[in-house]
Amino acid sequence: MPAVRDKQAAIAHVWSAALIALAVEAEGADELLGELESLVELFDRRPEVEQLLASPAVADAAKRELLERTLRGRASDLLVDALQVMREKRRLDLVRAVLHGYRAAWLKLRRRVEVRVSSAVPLAEELRQSLVRAAARRTGSEPILVERVDPALLGGLVVAIGDDKFDASVATDLARLQRNLLERSSLELISGKSYFTEITTPPEGEAAP
């Protein structure tokens, strides 16, 4: 199945590139991103809609009518027309992948970068700002911080910039970890890489956090 997924990703990339080019030409790149995100949020709330649009067993005319009735006049013509073309090409199962590719292209266009952080408890404000400053220095882009609380990390921290992720989970108290990260500057960006990692090996003679 990896070959199938790779092919689907490549196809979605073509659609994403075409959409961002059309949106930029129409001066609506920001708006189209919001519409694609809203569409996927609709899929999350109403999975039967996504299943209907992606199913090869559902008549093409029914899909066309659903898109027109649901979106025409509520979303941009660019979005609706693009979805109708995807329907004709039997690619409506790639909407989520197209959004992923479009968002990546949009971030590059706007010189922004997503910094996704998962932590056992909400981040302290000082650490949050440190992450943003570090990402800005290393990438030269405006960071967009996306936070997620995951108690299963057991006091750890997972940080990703763009598509690169480093798992820095450790079984310790997060408050102490945050203090050590700030005081010892042990959260660093790897030079030449688009991710950063916690340095967990303590200096000689010092206990690990």
Taking Cα atoms as reference points, which of 142, 156, 88, 145 lies closest to residue 116?
145
Partner residues linked to 166 by β-bridges? 159
Do 96 and 121 share a domain, yes or no? no
Domain interval for residue 83: 2-107
Region of 185 (left: φ > 0; alpha: ψ -120 to 50; beta: rest) is left
CATH of the domain at 172: 3.40.30
Mind listing the pLDDT tens digit for each residue in 11-65?
999 999 999 999 999 999 999 999 999 999 999 999 999 999 999 999 999 999 9
97 and 136 assigned to the same domain: no
- Those residues with Cβ within 8 angstroms of residue 166's Cβ, 6 or more apart along the chain or in another chain: 158, 159, 160, 195, 196, 197, 198
Residues 98 and 32 in one domain: yes
Report if residue 46 sits inside a domain.
yes
| 206 falls within a domain | no
* Structure confidence by residue, pLDDT tens digits, 98-150: 999 999 999 999 999 888 888 888 888 888 888 888 888 878 899 999 999 98
Say what the pTM is: 0.70
Q: Do residues 7 and 39 share a domain?
A: yes
